């Protein structure tokens, strides 16, 4: 029966999430039970698309992404896919009425990674919108349970939080993006002469996104607020570590948050949330 297939599909999305991101897995763990599978389904979908453009270099990535895109829309329309990741994703799209526009913007950003190497201000905004901000909006659709007024109210903050997370990823992954992938995300930044002054300007922009995003976290329903807050605290700690790292060192190594520090973040976040100190 299909219920068993759907259950197995969601388990696949959960496995993918846990394999690729301990930080997001931890955040999902602290969501209300009703939200866990939908967010696993969204993350599994975006993770697979990202893998196509970032790691499958020995394969025809453009063809693979096109096939993945076609299969995605087919799964949503037919409400089933033999690809368990897409079967889970179509379920959450149809259940929570996630607009196809968000999915299209996301897949467009993945296509940009196949072709574009150096971004300008316009293309960077488009890329961040598709690769991060709309993913936050997909999750927000789940969190508000169909409340369109609440969605509209929280939408700007959700987009800013997604933007902050993505820009942190850019700084964290400078070495791999530039030296291995040949990508330059930040406009007018010469990584060969990347210095602390340039880095501080980028950090000032990220801090504004963080502040705007956090204002939305405080207004989320309690059922999702703590899980999102944990992810926020993890990324903000990563941001602070990056701020303390000299520019020349940042381009030579990938900054990480240790498991012990993640545990401390989790514990302090739990008590702040419990005491309503967000």
Q: What's the CATH number where 204 sits?
A: 1.10.600.10
Q: Please give the model's pTM, rounded to 2 decimal places.
A: 0.91
Q: How many domains does the chain have?
A: 1
pLDDT for 266:
76
Interval 119-152: pLDDT, tens: 888 999 999 999 999 999 999 999 999 899 999 9
User: Rounded to whole angstroms, how far apart are CA atoms 253 and 246?
Assistant: 11
The pLDDT assigned to 253 comes to 83
Torsion over CA of 131, 134, 136 and 141, rounded to 10 degrees?
A: -150
Mean pLDDT, consecutive 10-residue stretches, the chain (278 aa), reads 92 95 83 94 96 93 97 98 98 97 97 84 93 96 94 96 94 79 78 86 94 94 90 93 91 82 76 66
Say if CB 184 and CB 117 are below 8 A apart.
yes
| Dist CA 134 CA 165 (whole Å) | 12
DSSP 3-state of 117: coil
* Residues contacting residue 45 through CB under 8 Å, at least 6 positions apart: 13, 72, 85, 86, 88, 89
pLDDT value for 164: 96
Instruction: Give residue 14's pLDDT.
Output: 96
Q: How far is CA 82 from CA 12, 86, 193, 203, 229, in A?
A: 12, 8, 49, 43, 34
Could you tell me if 114 and 65 are in contact, meaning their C-beta atoms sit under 8 angstroms apart? yes
Give me the domain span that covers residue 139: 2-274
Give me the pLDDT at residue 153, please: 96
Q: Please enumerate in sequence order all residues whose Cβ is within 8 A of that of 150, keeping only pairs 6 or more positions apart, or say none.
A: 144, 221
For residues 57 and 51, give the distance between their C-alpha atoms in angstroms, rounded to a whole number.
Answer: 10
Q: What angle do CA 206, 207, 209 make, to 5 degrees?
A: 65
User: What does the block give as tokens for 196?
Assistant: 């602390």
Token reading at 189: 């930044």
């Amino acid at each position: 029966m299909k219920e068993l297939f759907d259950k197995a599909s969601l388990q696949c999305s959960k496995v993918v999430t846990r394999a690729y991101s301990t930080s997001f897995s931890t955040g999902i763990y602290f969501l209300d039970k009703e939200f866990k599978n939908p967010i696993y389904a969204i993350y599994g979908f975006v993770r697979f698309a990202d893998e196509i453009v970032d790691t499958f270099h020995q394969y025809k990535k453009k063809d693979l992404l096109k096939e993945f895109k076609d299969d995605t829309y087919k799964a949503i329309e037919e409400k089933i896919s033999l690809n368990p990741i897409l079967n889970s994703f179509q379920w959450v799209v149809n259940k929570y009425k996630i607009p196809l526009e968000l999915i299209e913007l996301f897949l467009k950003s993945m296509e940009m990674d196949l072709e574009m190497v150096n971004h300008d201000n316009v293309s960077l905004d488009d890329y961040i919108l598709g690769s991060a901000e709309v993913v936050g909006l997909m999750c927000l659709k789940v969190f508000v349970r169909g409340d369109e007024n609440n969605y509209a109210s929280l939408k700007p903050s959700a987009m800013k939080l997604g933007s902050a997370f993505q820009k942190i990823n850019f700084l964290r992954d400078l070495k791999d993006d530039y030296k291995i992938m040949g990508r330059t995300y930040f406009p007018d930044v010469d990584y060969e002469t990347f210095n602390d002054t340039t880095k501080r300007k980028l950090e000032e922009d990220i801090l504004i996104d963080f502040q705007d995003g956090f204002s939305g976290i405080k207004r989320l329903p309690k059922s999702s607020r703590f899980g999102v807050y944990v992810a926020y605290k993890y990324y903000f700690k990563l941001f602070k570590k990056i701020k303390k790292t000299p520019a020349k060192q940042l381009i030579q190594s990938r900054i990480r948050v240790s498991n012990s520090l993640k545990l401390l973040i989790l514990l302090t976040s739990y008590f702040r949330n419990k005491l309503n100190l967000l």
